[in-house]
A and B are shown apart, each in its own frame.
Chain A
Amino acid sequence: MVTASSAPVDSASVVVTSPVNVQNAPRPTTWGERFVFALADTAAKRDCRDRPLSNVAGPYGIRDVGRSTLQLEPVAGARGPRLTIHLATETSARDLVDAGVDLLVTDSPALAAYAATRGDVTSAPLGWDRTWVVATPSGSLAIDSSVAFRSGLARDAVRTDARASEGTHWWSDTTGCSTATVRSALASIGTSRVVYPHDESVARALAERLVAVLGGRATATGLAPNAFRSALLSGSEMAYVFPLRRMTVDRCRSMTELVERASWLGGRGAITALIDTRLHAVVRRDRLNLTFTWDSTVAIAPARP
């Protein structure tokens, strides 16, 4: 657990460089939604032994939803400052940083580096929390799985803090998981599209790079969350690029959830891990206490008395 301490405050401003749609609760589709929904539900925060965290603020309730801001307040009886969460692009986030924010959570190393240039902040990368994969229903699409290719993706294709995904992933080991055998008939693959959730810039960059490498008539197409969810369920596209949690406490449960999202993944479909990414947090010293959990979830800790 990583912590940063500060004096207790009544309210704090937070900048998140990710779209957040509260309608997607409790199933986040972006890392920004994961961050916000985690704040709203302290009970969801658990330690690495899957025990609930007891020393964090919240739970929070979402009081107001503005065009680009969210107002969060601790629910009755809960502790913690009121939070104003600014949903910003990289450009506007810089303006907010210059105006002074208490916490910046971003997937842009450049932005984090810029924010860290202020003297009153502490910048820290979070853990490698997400693995970006390409899933191919047919299983026959020639995706280069070499380390060099993946390293190239991490280095050149995406503009976030990334690395080639390595090691054994939880979805690769289905031992003892009955749900892993769930199969269903595949819909015929009638397109040459590589689809991705259009809110995810990393997914977009990876899909475009795959298209560039695959050549031919392949195209990259961004889909809205619901459309992507439907497309993933049908397995009718040539390939899907999307993120998965890098780590899980219960791999069988996660596998079950994954197969529920795309039943064909339990059959001939193949998942190829491409890169791991992580976020960066920049926090103003003496303003907030932060707790970074084992799975890189950010929690605001109660102020010290």
Chain B
Amino acid sequence: MTFRSRLLIAFAIATIVPLALLGFGVRRQLTARLVAQHQRRVEDMAKVAAQDVERESASIAARLSTLARTLRTDDRFRMAAVRGDPGERAYLLDWAELAMRTTGLEMLQLQDSGGRILSSGHFRNEFDRLEPELPRALGAAKGAVLVNVRAPEGSFLALARAESVYVAGRRFDLVGGIKVDSVFLQRFAREEGLHVILSEAKDPKVPGRGLSIGTTRIPRLPARDDNSRPARDDTSARDDNGADNVVAELPIPYLTDSQTTAHLIIAYDIPELALLRRDVDQWFAAALVVVVAGALAVAAWLSRRLSEPLATLTHAASTIDLEGPELALAAGRDDEIGTLARRLGSMSTRLRASAARLRHAERRATVGDMARQVNHDIKNGLIPIRNVLRHLVQVQEQEPQNLPTVFAERRATLESSVGYLDTLARNYAKLTPRVDRRAVDVNGIAAEVAASIAVGNNVRVRTRLPDNVPRALGDPVVVRRIIDNLVRNAVESFDAEGGEVTLATARTPTGGVRITVVDTGRGMSSEELAHAFDDFFTTKPDGTGLGLSVVRRLTTDLDGSVRVESAPGQGTAVTIELPSCTPS
């Protein structure tokens, strides 16, 4: 995996994870606060519902009590129920229906002490049926109780109470109540989103368990937008954590075969919670997109900023040629990459110096060969001279009168051989590695060289020799040879039109001595520059190819450095840096 890929992944993770945590946290906090707020509200509603149920219970009790008082003074009732007058039987049968309508009750039974139904308001023709358990159970209860009441069309659920009345010493039981249906429950669902469920199960997520008890019809609330649809078929909360609605519960006694309790469950859907969640999700998604896009862009930019210089350095490192010119690395940066580049450049320089020294050592290894060559060359030069001398000695001994003539004849040979040796000596003298170490007045040597160099009329040698240049540590002869070679090379680089040579010295930032020879000559191509320090490489027809080679060797011997900058038609600048005599 590339550095760039890793950087992108890291940025993506670094932005997504905290943002996701933030979104989750905000969502959770909002949910918790809204749920808590609505939970309190629903619990208050449950308290109000409890009061309403209590009020209904009291109202039923009051109405039954009124009916009981009325019965005691109802003569027709007495005649029918006590005396058994058949003429008033119809009155008795219709009494409960009339009483039910009058009092606003929705179920009413009148039973005798044996549990026989004498009159029924909600089911007129159930007279004479026995149902003694109902008033007994209701009488045992403290308040209103939910009961399943039989009706012609089926049974219905009612909130009922019982009341006893004694007429002529006989006990009669009144059982009355109101229907508990969707209309009844609707009074508790006063607000949008509020659902009221009557269930035997406490948990509203258990759908319709109460509805399956016997023939009980637990009413279902109409849905908010569709009155024909049961409201709480979906009694489960809308999401798994159950946070979309809040629930409060009110137990109500429920009379069945097994005395149990029904639960009035008030559930409130929190529509704004869903909206809030949706908004948070949308904003989170938008923020995520923006942040991730931004992070990826920054990551891409950073990775490019990092990887491109590294790639350049890598490429530069892979193309370092110890024999070629120095490469320009990104050493101008002041960051880690700049440091790395400088270190790499420094390493390259040291490697190049080492390579140069290695090459120099190789050359020195060849000195032996050269010595033999020199020996051979000198012998070659001496042999004609010895022969001429032997010839002259022989002429002097045998024909002294001809000595001048013979000398004149052989003089050219002598001069030629001497010239040859002289040339040979001068050439080989340039390779002599004898270095001394002492303080050298570079400015003085430079001035002597500039003054002694023979130049034509069209060549001008200028010097810039400031006083603050320290003395260098080295050999004055070697330094002179270096400067002399450089100036001579510069002068020789001019064509017929001539040019100008500038010989300058300066103090380096590290306290050393810098010698610069700049000419306006023809300059060198990059290929020529690459071989400028090679032995015997020359671009001049009569050049020896040893000038710059000797300069570099001598400079190296003085622990200095040499740098050449040149371009075709731009002239050449050679810079020599030598260590100072005094430590900086």
Contacts and interface: CB of A to CB of B under 8 A. Distances in A.
A202 B424 CA distance: 157
The A interface is mostly helix, strand or loop, or mixed, namely helix
B90 A220 contact: no
B93 A156 contact: yes
B127 A207 contact: no
Interface string B134-168: 00000000000000000011100000000000000
Interface residues of B, number: 15
Given A155-B89, A156-B93, A205-B124, A212 B129 contact: yes
A212 B126 contact: yes
Nearest to B94: A159
Contacts of A220: 152-153
A212 B125 contact: yes
A215 B128 CA distance: 12
Given A156-B89, A159-B90, A217-B215, A208 B154 contact: no
Interface string A181-220: 0000000000000000000000011011101100101011
Contacts of B94: 159
A30 B127 CA distance: 27
Given A156-B89, A217-B215, A209 B125 contact: yes
Contacts of A221: 153
A219 B90 contact: no
B152 A156 contact: no
Contacts of A208: 123-126, 152
B392 to A, nearest CB: 160
B68 to A, nearest CB: 24
A12 interface: no
A211 B89 CA distance: 21
Interface centre among A207, A217, A219 (most CB of B within 10 A): A219
A9 interface: no
A157 interface: yes
A272 B125 CA distance: 19
Nearest to B153: A219
Given A219-B152, A221-B153, A205 B125 contact: yes
Interface string A21-65: 000000000000000000000000000000000000000000000
A106 to B, nearest CB: 17
Contacts of B124: 205, 208
Contacts of A157: 125
Contacts of A205: 124-125
Contacts of B154: 219
A219 B215 CA distance: 11
A197 to B, nearest CB: 15
B80 to A, nearest CB: 11
Nearest to B151: A219
A215 B126 CA distance: 10
B45 to A, nearest CB: 35
Contacts of B93: 156
A207 B153 CA distance: 10
Nearest to A204: B152
A44 to B, nearest CB: 35
Nearest to A220: B152
Interface in B431-488: none
A193 to B, nearest CB: 9
Interface string B79-114: 000000010011001100000000000000000000
B153 A212 contact: no
A198 to B, nearest CB: 11
B133 to A, nearest CB: 15
Contacts of B123: 208, 212
B148 to A, nearest CB: 12
A273 B282 CA distance: 74
A205 B126 CA distance: 10
A204 B125 CA distance: 10
B341 to A, nearest CB: 95
Nearest to A217: B215
Nearest to B154: A219
Contacts of B153: 219-221
A159 B98 CA distance: 14
Contacts of B90: 156, 159
Contacts of A204: 152
Nearest to A205: B125
A211 B93 CA distance: 17
B127 A211 contact: no
B403 to A, nearest CB: 166
A89 to B, nearest CB: 15
A90 B448 CA distance: 152
B215 A156 contact: no
Nearest to B86: A155
A69 to B, nearest CB: 28
Nearest to A219: B154
Contact of A207 (B126, B129, B152, B215): B152
A35 B563 CA distance: 137
A227 to B, nearest CB: 15
Given A156-B127, A205-B124, A205-B125, A211 B215 contact: no
A212 B122 CA distance: 12
B433 to A, nearest CB: 127
A215 B155 CA distance: 12
Nearest to B150: A212
A208 B215 CA distance: 17
Contacts of A155: 86, 89
A204 B123 CA distance: 11
Nearest to B215: A217
A221 B151 CA distance: 11
A155, A159, A211, A212, most chain B CB atoms within 10 A: A212
A205 B125 CA distance: 7
A194 B89 CA distance: 26
A38 to B, nearest CB: 31
10 contacts: A155-B86, A159-B94, A208-B123, A208-B126, A208-B152, A212-B123, A212-B126, A212-B127, A219-B152, A220-B153
Given A212-B125, A221-B153, 12 more contacts: A155-B86, A156-B89, A156-B125, A156-B127, A159-B94, A205-B124, A208-B126, A208-B152, A209-B125, A211-B152, A212-B127, A220-B152
Q: Which 8 A-B pairs give the minimum distances between C-beta atoms?
A: A209-B125, A220-B152, A212-B126, A208-B152, A208-B125, A219-B154, A157-B125, A212-B125
